[in-house]
Structures are given as structure tokens and as C-alpha cells.
Chain A
Amino acid sequence: MSGVSTHDSTAVHHDDHGHEHHKETFISKYVFSQDHKMIAKQFLITGIVMAVIAMLLSLLFRIQLAWPDKDFPLLEAFLGKWAEGGRISPDFYLALITIHGTIMVFFVLTAGLSGTFSNLLIPLQIGARDMASPFVNMLSYWFFFIACVIMMSSFFVQTGPASSGWTVYPPLSALPTAIAGSGLGMTLWLISMVLFVASSLMGALNYVSTVLNMRTKGMDLWKMPLTIWAFFLTAILGILSFPVLVSGVVLLIFDRSFGTSFYLSDIVLNGNILPNEGGSPILWQHLFWFLGHPEVYIVILPALGITSEVIATNARKPIFGYHAMVYSLIGIAVLSFIVWGHHMFITGMNPFLGGVFMITTLIIAVPSAVKTFNYLATLWRGNLRFTPAMLFAVGLVSFFISGGLTGIFLGNAALDINLHDTYFVVAHFHLVMGSAAIFGMLSGVYHWFPKMFGRMMDEKLGYLHFWLTFIGAYLVFFPMHFMGIDGVPRRYYAFTEFEFMQQWLTVNVFITWAAIISALAQVAFLWNFFHSMYYGKKTVQNPWDSNTLEWTAPVEHYHGNWIGEIPSVYRWPYDYSKPGHNEDFIPQTTPFSETMSSNLPHDFEGNAEAERIQAEWLIQNP
């Protein structure tokens, strides 16, 4: 990447300050890079590392759940006092589930997913040289990185990491002496999350501004790939919801450190009556879930966008109902702000209000279903190419259906009285988020790996990875529905103390084995990923015969993406298998004048001149 100008003697096109001219150092190229493609890779690799850590944490608590009475001396060797006698301690168990959830939801599925693919694809697919502010983009990554480091550092403090669940409800989170994890660990959690929010906001601001202002010639909104629509709406959700989390966190910090009573009232702690009065923990729940619910869509929308792109490309068919897809994305985004109450049905809210939240929740299932049907219709009688990316995309559709259906149960206030805080909820969100969104992310990795690293991943390992993970995830999460219906509560340390739960111990053993196998399957992925980075087969320019702009950029990366002029766009991205054309795909950069044999009347959007030329051509070429 020594300089665009050396490759381009006729016309020098460079973005703003011409910083390609001086030689890039290792630091400016790999560390403090301002190139969106490099930042995307940084997000991806950090996200993968965090995902592996969070997965290992989950194996630790799965071991505890499956064998609560067994000693594993090995654990003590690694974890010291947190696994005295070879058993995970109750305090540490809570820390494990908390940090597992936090990392997976925020660090992997928010930063890892949006950070990677919005960064990689927004400029490349809309035809821009980089983000609106590459500098802010760089800051966004480094804030994220520091947030990761601080979150992990809480494993090295005396009292352990935060332990009040990923939703950090007060009073456990507001009273530093409530449980071990409420102390320094909780403080670190808050600092880390504030940095994380700052990082997400910086990213989101860039994504929105770039999409709105920096599209190449011809790329009007209705010619954008669905990936871009999804990333764009995700970023808007982030801009509107993350600040509300910050306002809640600020109040929490004041309660923790300055003695205010926003969330605290009538508390007896270790036999002492605390003076705090008047506060309400429900206030935190409102502020948290006002972010929390949009957050779950921040997690799933990019995965859905990636799936649209991968499915259309590999079914060799136009995406079914492009406009319907966009409108349902918008519908989901808007509705996601008025359903947060469904997480709070049993907080004693006014039943009438509960009814309102129930209705909005059930309405949001409609655009979700529209998307599902459109995926199925796109697949229907397509010319399917089962690449690993395609398998993961189809896997997403499967998980989105099975997890979405249980959402409809939970969305009924009356049913939720029974199901709330049971394993049924755990099953719901692990299918629809833990599995579906992760599958979307993996699909994206397999699909755009050649774009990121210029090499191909191994397909056979990809298939192995897919089947083990797909089957494994169902085996892990499906049985949890039945536990939940039986009333087994989530976040319990051991099932041995309650008679009705004991019968589920054998199921826990089964689930843990399934989890171990799925975790091992990830080794296939990790090997494939890191090995292919250096030794994979070199990719061709457009390995999937895809229509979108990113495949017109050179395989080798340049800061500025295209050498010479940015290509113009003439058509939507889904002209696959268009009748009358000699190939089964027509890139967005191909003008209609070069595809006279396949043009359709509605392609011209009412342009009379173009219609006249086409009609003339048809007469001459009967």
C-alpha cells in the first residue's frame, strides 16, 4: 500500500490530505490505522478473541451445572480460590454468567459484528474511499480495545468480576458491598461499558453519515444492498439507544459512589439498615431495557442483512421482495423502541400498560416474519450453491424461526408470568441471538474472507464447522425450553437443593456434553481462519460471481479502495439469473446499454429516452 499514485500515472485520485504519499509505517498501517478495511480486521480479530474467551467461560459454568458434586482438581490449579477443592464457587459462578453475557452481547455481537462488517462493507459497497471521519473510526476501535482490556482485567482483582448478570440490576450493582462482585469488579464493568458505548457511538455516527453522504454516482438509496440498509438502521438504533444506557449508568455511578438514592430504598445489608429511601430499582430497568431491547436488534439486524446478501448471491436469484425487506427492517427498527416493557411484565406494572407492551411486542413479530418468508421465497427453487457462507445463512434462518416463535410466547404477559426468569427465556434468546446472530456473523466471515485477506477459506473445514455447530447448538438450547416450562429458574448455581429440579440434572449433563462438542467444533473454524489468512488459496477478483461493488475493488488493498475513479452504479444489486442475459449475474456497474438483451421495461424507471432506445433495439434484434 505504498501509494496509490505510483500505480496510477494518468490521473491522481486520492482522498483528502493525500496521506498516501508518505510511506506507511508498521504503526500507521497495522496499529493506529485509519483505513476502514484494516479497522474492520482489527474489530474482527478482537471480536473472535473475545468470543473464544466468553465461550470458555460458558464451558466452566456448564461443567458446574452438569457435575455439581464432582471435584475437578484441574480447575483449582487454574482458578485458585475461585474453584477451591476443584469446584467453581457460587460467587464465581455468578461472575462467569455475567461476564459471559456481557462479552457475547456487547463485545462480540455488537462491536465484533457491526464493527467488522459495517466498517468493511459500507465504504466498499456504496463506493466511498473511506468513512466520513477515518480518525474517529480509528478512535472507535481503540476505545473498544481498551474496554475489552478493562473488562478482562476484572478477573485479576481480589473480589472478582461483576456478578449481577449482564443487565446489572440494582441493588446488587449499586451497593459495592452487596456481594463480592459488586465491588471493584462492578466499577470496572461500568468503566468498560462507558468506553464501549463511546466506541459504539463513534462507529455508528460514522456509518450513518457515510451512508447518507458518500455514496457513489448512481447509488441511490433504493439501489443499496440490503447489507447496507441493515448496517445503516443498526447504527441509527445505536445512536438513539446507547445514550439512554449512559444516562442510566451515570445515575448508577452516583448511587454507588456518592450516596444518592435513584435506585435504592429500604435496604438491609448484612444486618445494617441503609439510610437510602425513595429510590426505585424499576427505574433502572426502564432505562436499561430502553436500550436493551433495541440492543437485541442491533445484534440481529446486521446478521439479517448479511444473510440477505449471502442467500441472494448463492441462490442465484434476486432477493424476494427487496422493498418489503427494507420496510420490515425499518419497521423493526421503529417498533423496537416501544416494546421494552416486555422484559418487565412482572415488575408490578399496571396491567393495562402490560397489555400495551404485549400488543407492540406481538406486532414486531410481523416484520420479523416477513423477513423470514422472504428468505424462504428467495431460496425456493433457487440454483443453490452450498458454500459454507450459504449454509450458515440458512442456519440463521432456521434459528431465527425457532427462536422467534418462542418470543411470541414470552410476549404474552399472561404466559410470561410463568416463563419469566426461567430457562425458557434462556432458550429463546440463545436461539434467536446466541445462535442466529452468531451464524450471521460466521456467514459473513466465510463470505467476505477473500475480500478481507485476499485468500479463500477451506470449504471442507467450513462444512465440518457448520454441521457440528448447527446440530450442537440445537442440542444445547432446545432442551432448555422444557426445563423452563417446568419452572426451572435461570442463574441458579446448582440444581441439587430443589427436589423438582433434580430430575433435570441428567439433562444438564447432556447439554454440557453437547456444549463441549460445539466448542471443539470452533477449533475447526479457528484453524481454518488463521491458517487460511496466510496459506489459503489466493482468491480471484469476484469469487462468488457477486453483483455488489466491493468485488470490483482490487484484491490487493489500497487506502482509497479503488485505483482511479470510483465506479458508478446503474442498477440494483440483485440482478441474478436475469432472463436473456448470457451470465447469471450482472454487476451493479454494468450499464443497461450493455445488457440490451435482458432489459425489462421497469428497469428504466419511466425514463422515456431509454425506453425509446430499448424499443428500437428490440425492433432491430427480433
Chain B
Amino acid sequence: MEDSSEDRVNVKARKFLMWLVVISSSMLFAGWTSGFMVYAAGSADQGLKVILPDVFKYSTAAMIVSSITMHMAYLSAKRLQFDKQKIYLILTILLGLLFFVLQVLAWRTLTEQGVFLVNYNASQSFIYIFTGAHLAHIIAGIGALVNALTGRLKNIAQVKNLYRLEMASIFWHFIDIVWIYLYVFLLLNQ
């Protein structure tokens, strides 16, 4: 039917919106990291000059594992294994929350080292900007995951279930990659 083909086009177009969100959000982080480089190039004593807390390693691991569980949830949904989908989604959400907590712990370690947000070496302030903005994305991502999970619990139609899941998954993998990018960026400037 004509109708359903128009519907399909709409779903495709809406999924594409998420890719565009990913692109514009990448530009946001590109803006900050370029800002960092311009700033750090300003003078010799404006480098990062911090040993990054080890907690970041654990949070990175949590993030990577969460991407795997995300993908498992997606595969399960495709194979119509809805119970598994539910479990993997919950796992992903929990890992996201764990990541959040670990990042906040990292902030504490940093402040104990005397690295504060308000800082006359703004390179160090940038650490908080990077991680803070990323955490804001994590919150949005968890929102998307919860949305997919409630859809699952309410047993919505499979098309819609997959749609919500795909939207969440594109975004979640994206913020995973953003974190790895930020971490590597910081490590290289350490």
C-alpha cells in the first residue's frame, strides 16, 4: 500500500535526524578541543600539566562494555528475543550510571590534586568542560535507553520497538566514541 511506503520513508527520515544530531554534537566537542589547542598553544606554561586519575581507565572500560551490551540488546530485539533485550538494556543503563559515578569520582581525585574548575590555567578547566559536557550527553543517552526500555515493557509494536532501540543505540555508541576521543585527546596532551 501507498500508505505504508510513505510511513517507511518517514521512519528512515527520522532515523536520519539522529545521525545529524550526532554530527552537530561532534562539532560541539570539536569546538572545545580546538579551543583547548588554541589556548594551550598560547604559552609554554598553559599545558595540561596533570596526571589523569586512574578512575578514567575504569570508566572507559565501563563505557566500552556498555556499548557491547547495547549492541547485544539490539541483536536480541532483531531476533525477537525480548527478554534478553530487556536484560541487556537494563545492563546498559546500569553501566551508564556506573560511568557517571566514576566520572564524578575522577573529579574528586582531580580536586584533591589541586586541579580545580576555577583555574588560572584554563587547560585544566577544560578537563571539567569536556567531562561535564560529556556527562550531559550521558544523561540524554540514558533517557533514550529508558525510553526504549519502557517501550519494551509496554510491549509496543516491533517496528516501534526497533525504532526506539536504534535511535538509542546510534546515540549511545556515539557518546562512547566521544568519550574515547576525549580521553585519548587528554592523554596525548598530558
Contact = CB atoms under 8 A, between A and B. Distances in A.
Interface residues of B, number: 38
Nearest to A282: B38
B60 interface: no
Q: Which of B14, B25, B34, B42 has the most CB of A within 10 A?
A: B14
Interface stretch (A208-216, A322-330, A590-598): A208-216
B12 to A, nearest CB: 5
Given A16-B10, A136-B17, A244-B31, A260 B119 contact: yes
B17 A209 contact: yes
B20 interface: yes
Contact of A276 (B6, B29, B120): B120
A250 interface: yes
Interface string A201-230: 100111011101110000000000000000
Interface residues of A, number: 49
A243 interface: yes
B56 interface: no
Contacts of B24: 201, 205, 239-240, 242-243
A576 to B, nearest CB: 31
Interface string B113-150: 00001111110010001000100000000000000000
B117 A258 contact: yes
B122 A243 contact: no
Nearest to A285: B38
Contacts of A241: 27
A583 B71 CA distance: 58
A247 B20 contact: no
B25 A254 contact: no
A287 B125 contact: no
B20 A278 contact: no
A283 B125 CA distance: 14
A262 B39 contact: yes
Contacts of A240: 23-24, 27
Interface in A98-139: 129, 132-133, 136
B122 A247 contact: no
Given A240-B27, A251-B129, A260 B118 contact: yes
Contacts, number: 121
B20 A205 contact: yes
Contacts of A246: 28, 31
A248 interface: yes
- Majority SS at the chain B contact face: helix
B117 A243 contact: no
Interface stretch (A7-15, A420-428, A477-485): A7-15
Interface string A257-297: 01111100000000000011111101100110010000000
Interface in A503-542: none
A609 interface: no
Nearest to A286: B38
Interface string B30-59: 111011001100110010000000000000
Interface in A28-57: none
Q: Is the interface of A mostly helix, strand, loop or mixed?
A: helix
Contacts of A261: 119-120, 122, 125
Given A259-B118, A261-B119, A214 B27 contact: no
Interface string B68-89: 0000000000000000000000
A447 to B, nearest CB: 27
Contacts of B29: 247
B17 A278 contact: no
Given A240-B24, A278-B122, A287-B31, A129 B6 contact: yes
A565 interface: yes
Contacts of A12: 3
A223 B32 CA distance: 39
B118 A258 contact: yes
A254 B12 CA distance: 39
Nearest to A17: B7
B26 to A, nearest CB: 8
A142 to B, nearest CB: 18
Interface in B1-16: 2-3, 6-7, 9-10, 12-14, 16
B21 interface: yes
A258 B121 CA distance: 14
Interface string B141-168: 0000000000000000000000000000
Contact of B16 (A16, A212, A258, A259): A212
A347 to B, nearest CB: 12
B20 A279 contact: no
Contacts of A239: 20, 23-24, 27
Interface string A360-390: 0000000000000000000000000000000
A251 B16 CA distance: 30
A268 to B, nearest CB: 16
A250 B14 contact: no
B2 A208 contact: no
Contact of A13 (B2, B20, B39, B125): B2
Interface of A: 11-16, 129, 132-133, 136, 201, 204-206, 208-210, 212-214, 239-244, 246-248, 250-251, 254, 258-262, 275-280, 282-283, 286-287, 290, 565
14 contacts: A205-B17, A208-B16, A213-B9, A239-B27, A240-B27, A243-B24, A244-B28, A251-B129, A254-B125, A260-B117, A260-B118, A278-B42, A279-B122, A280-B38
Interface of B: 2-3, 6-7, 9-10, 12-14, 16-17, 20-21, 23-25, 27-32, 34-35, 38-39, 42-43, 46, 117-122, 125, 129, 133
Given A247-B28, A278-B46, 5 more contacts: A239-B27, A240-B27, A278-B42, A280-B38, A280-B39
Closest 5 pairs (CB-CB, A-B): A247-B31, A132-B13, A213-B13, A244-B31, A277-B120
